[in-house]
Amino acid sequence: MNIETLPIKSGIKKIIIESDGISELYPPQEAAIKQGLLEGKNLVISIPTAAGKTLLAEIAAIQHIMENKGKVVYLCPLRALASEKFRNFKRFQSLGVSVAITSGDYDSKDHYLPRYDIIISTNEKFDALLRHQVSWVEDEVSLVIVDECHLLNDQHRGPTLEILLARLLLRNTQLQIVALSATVGNSEELAEWLKAELVQSDWRPVPLKEGVFYDNYVTYSDFTTRDVIYRQKEALLNLALDSFHSQEQVLIFTPSRRSAVTTANKIGDKIEPLLGPREKKTLSDRAVSLTTNLSDPLSKQLVACIKKGAAFHHAGLNSNQRMIIEDSFKEGIIKVLCATPTLASGINIPAKRVIISSVYRYSVERGSYPIMTLEYKQMSGRAGRPQYDTEGEAILIAKQPHSVRWLMDRYILKDSEAVYSKLAAMPALRRSILGLIASKVIPDIDELLNFFEKTFYGFQYEAVLLEGKIREVIDMLIVWEMIDPLDAGETLRATQYGVRVSQLYLDPETAANIVEGLKTVIENGSSKIHPLAFFDLLVGTPDMVTLMFGKANQAVTERRFDKFATRLIKSAPTKDDIEYDFRLRDFYTALFLWDWVNELPIEKLIIRYKIGSGDIHRITDTATWLTAAISEIASIFAKNNPRYLFIAKKSESLSERVKYGIKSDAVSLTTIKGIGRKRARILLDHGIRNTTQLADLNQSKLANIPGFGIELAKTILEETKKTQESEQDRQLENTGISDFLH
Ligand SMILES: Nc1ncnc2c1ncn2[C@@H]1O[C@H](COP(=O)(O)OP(=O)(O)OP(=O)(O)O)[C@@H](O)[C@H]1O
Ligand SMILES: [Mg+2]
């Protein structure tokens, strides 16, 4: 189908044809149009990787806005994916369509969002907006696009998406749902649940050749073979050299961060001598754009690798580093990219050849286990660049001769599995049931069961199977005082505290753990809490993310834990207790947070805790949210017991400290946009202790302080003024009418 013939506004066609250089729709795209994408029909589009789901979503969204049908929400499972979609959508802004992105801060209603036509959000953030009962979400959204809908199968993240979709299905107002999914075993079932038409196809823009490598041969699925001539000890090196000599870019999926780094290094060593001077120059220029960033060991390793033509990509890197790597690979500058599997989900980064070095993963709960076929298809599907390659190639590596057949059968010749609801998991039920009651969607237990009947779980099984668990959750929520005890009519009502827990997006168990800790503080009559004790309280909750804890960290963590044990809020187990080791694991992350708020330089943190700067963001983001949540919860309790007030204040300031990684004396200065950890400390070292003193400075004096300069001094002084004005406004608003009259 020619783009020109599509029933869409000419401006959209122009951008697709002229900017994207696309003139024909792919066959599955055509099918989606014919099945009613532009006529408001619910659709499940279940087609392979890189078959062009994004373009369909874009056409549907922009046309929807230009026909004034209502707002569009585009849901993504990952922040990185949301950013990529945001960047893509921006090319339509010239048509007068406005696009916003939201993620993070779950407790914010994001008042600016109603001004935008298309809102790109992570699933969790949108769920949080529903909990705040934001009116535009309820009244104005008329198209919801769900990317990577097969995520429903994910133990941790699936239930949020499932509840969210069930809520949308129950809405009275007209709403179109377009779900984009990888090819899964039961897409008909998915479509039936969403009352949607199914667009299904195995068509790929570039044919994919799949094979297994063993003993220097690749055996393909049609049982032809190919000899790889290089004879290094490691299979990956041979395959990488083979690709390099054929001038083919290769994407290697490795099971762990560590293997991504070591593989990139080894391959880099082999291909560096083969690079020409021009290639070397381009690579070293690209490496320079990364060096401005950080000088910790991981960043240094990355720079060294890139100079050699290879790179690694994993969650330990920060988002800027990851973006530079993705772009450099897309541009063909980096020849070999070794990535952990997170890169497989949705980010558009194709390669001529994809190598999957191992199909095994490791987790503490499960030990070593083989991945799903669905995951393999996501990774192998990255192979073959439309517009460049006539064929893509995906290769699995066998370690033993008998694995060749097994890998072939289990991954290459097999279809993807069916997706199953994961709603029955307790943490998911707790969170969603409180959410439903707190946003007054559900008045009683019968209605709750009716609601679960509408979920994918209810569709695949029977909601009544959940009744026992649902009642157990209700009992827990009553004990935790998040909902009122049931009356004779069994009306479900959240307490003020329960509503807040739901809006703060906490797992009810996290809130219950925290409140138990706060009660101990109040009962002990203490008026001081050490920040480390706060962190110790946080790290044991289900919502906190923690650092990897290895044997090497045991002794030092133990020493610090024992030294600090008496000052903790939660009682400290002794070495004989079973939970001692678990507690130590968590305490390690508490120690990291303590070092962070004591302004230990990032480079030192990275070395001490063997992490990357991406981990620092992840952990401090979560801890900022949780410390702010403690403050909110303490403020609610302070209404009946003013002694909670000091906890509220203390945790509010601690939340700021965690956000920026600063000591308490820097809290005032970091309220100014543009002042973070480093600049606040420089100002303090120059005797400027707060925003008032900063506002009193003249521009040239500030510009003379090292690390500032004229331009920065100007913007910072403007920001200081703005901050002070809004603070005055806030104080005025808080002034009661009686104060005003007197
Ligand atoms: N009709 C078309 N003709 C040529 N190229 C196209 C067409 N439609 C999409 N593309 C290009 O193909 C690529 C497909 O990427 P896209 O991100 O949409 O894949 P996807 O279907 O969402 O797969 P994934 O499962 O990886 O999310 C993009 O680079 C896009 O520009
Ligand atoms: Mg996609």
Distance 156 CA to ligand 2 centre (A): 21
Average pLDDT over residues 570-579: 89
Q: Check residue 233 and give its pLDDT.
A: 85
State the span(s) of the chain assigned CATH 1.10.10.10: 426-505
Q: What is the mean pLDDT of the chain?
A: 90
CA distance 151 to 180: 10
Give the number of C-alpha atoms closer than 13 A to the C-alpha of residue 606, restricted to the C-beta side. 18
The response to whether residue 59 sits with its C-beta less than 6 Å from ligand 1 reads no
Which tens digits make up the pLDDT trace of 415-454? 999 999 999 989 889 999 999 999 888 888 888 999 999 9
Atom of ligand 1 nearest to the CA of 182: 25
Distance 322 CA to ligand 1 centre (A): 21
Q: DSSP characters for 62-124? A: HHHHHTT--EEEEEESSHHHHHHHHHHHGGGGGGT--EEEE-S-TT---TTGGG-SEEEEEHH
Quick check: 352 and 330 in contact, CB under 8 A? no
Q: Check residue 293 and give its pLDDT.
A: 56
Which residue's alpha carbon is at the smallest distance from atom 12 of ligand 1?
52
Which tens digits make up the pLDDT trace of 115-165? 999 999 999 999 988 888 788 888 899 999 999 999 999 988 899 999 999
CA distance 189 to 196: 10
Distance 108 CA to ligand 2 centre (A): 28
Which tens digits make up the pLDDT trace of 327-367? 999 999 999 999 998 887 767 788 999 999 999 988 877 88
Q: DSSP characters for 669-714? A: GGGSTT--HHHHHHHHHTT--SHHHHHTS-HHHHHTSTT--HHHHH
Q: Check residue 740 and give its pLDDT.
A: 40
CA 742 to chain CA mean position, Å:
51
> Using N-to-C axis directions, what is the helix angle for 277-291 and 297-307, rounded to 10°?
160
CA angle 136, 138, 143 (to 5 degrees): 85
- The residue type of 309 is G
CA distance 718 to 730: 18
Token pair recorded at residue 29: 């795209």
Distance 30 CA to ligand 2 centre (A): 17
CA distance 576 to 318: 40
The response to whether residue 346 sits with its C-beta less than 6 Å from ligand 1 reads yes
The response to whether residue 52 sits with its C-beta less than 6 Å from ligand 1 reads yes
Q: DSSP characters for 411-465? A: IISSPPPPP---TTSHHHHHHHHHHHHHTT---BHHHHHHHHHTSHHHHHS-GGG
Q: Which CATH number fits domain 666-742: 1.10.150.20, 3.40.50.2000, 3.40.50.300, 3.30.930.10?
A: 1.10.150.20
The response to whether residue 350 sits with its C-beta less than 6 Å from ligand 1 reads no
Residue whose token pair is 């969650």: 315
Give just the sign of the alpha carbon dihedral 714, 720, 725, 730.
Answer: positive
Q: Check residue 707 and give its pLDDT.
A: 84
Is 70 exceeded by the pLDDT of residue 738? no
Which tens digits make up the pLDDT trace of 202-258? 999 999 999 999 998 999 999 899 998 888 888 999 999 999 998 899 999 999 999
Which tens digits make up the pLDDT trace of 289-300? 776 656 778 888
Q: Using only C-alpha atoms, what is the Rg of the chain? A: 28
Q: Which CATH number fits domain 208-412: 3.40.640.10, 3.40.50.300, 3.20.20.300, 1.10.10.60?
A: 3.40.50.300
Position 493 confidence tier, pLDDT thresholds 50, 70, 90: very high
CA distance 546 to 554: 15
Distance 173 CA to ligand 2 centre (A): 28
Distance 98 CA to ligand 1 centre (A): 22
Which ligand is nearest to the Cα of residue 58, counting in written order? 1
Architecture of domain 3-200: 3-Layer(aba) Sandwich (3.40)
DSSP code of 348? -
State the span(s) of the chain assigned CATH 1.10.150.20: 666-742
Which residue's alpha carbon is at the smallest distance from atom 30 of ligand 1?
52
The response to whether residue 27 sits with its C-beta less than 6 Å from ligand 1 reads no
Q: Check residue 736 and give its pLDDT.
A: 45
Let me know if domain 426-505 sits in CATH 3.40.50.300. no
Q: Check residue 551 and give its pLDDT.
A: 81
CA distance 228 to 214: 10
Please choose, from the candidates 559, 547, 555, the residue with its C-alpha nearest in 3D space to the C-alpha of residue 585: 547
Is 60 exceeded by the pLDDT of residue 737? no
State the span(s) of the chain assigned CATH 3.40.50.300: 3-200, 208-412
Q: Check residue 735 and give its pLDDT.
A: 52
% of the chain with per-residue pLDDT over 90: 68
Q: Check residue 292 and give its pLDDT.
A: 60
- pLDDT: is 105 or 299 the higher one? 299
- Beta pairing partners, 368: 362
Is 70 exceeded by the pLDDT of residue 732? no
- Low-confidence winner among 295-304, 552-561, 644-653 (lowest mean pLDDT): 295-304
The response to whether residue 26 sits with its C-beta less than 6 Å from ligand 1 reads yes
Q: What are the Cα distances from residue 659, in Å, to 317, 488, 500, 616, 624?
A: 18, 46, 21, 11, 5
CA 395 to chain CA mean position, Å:
28
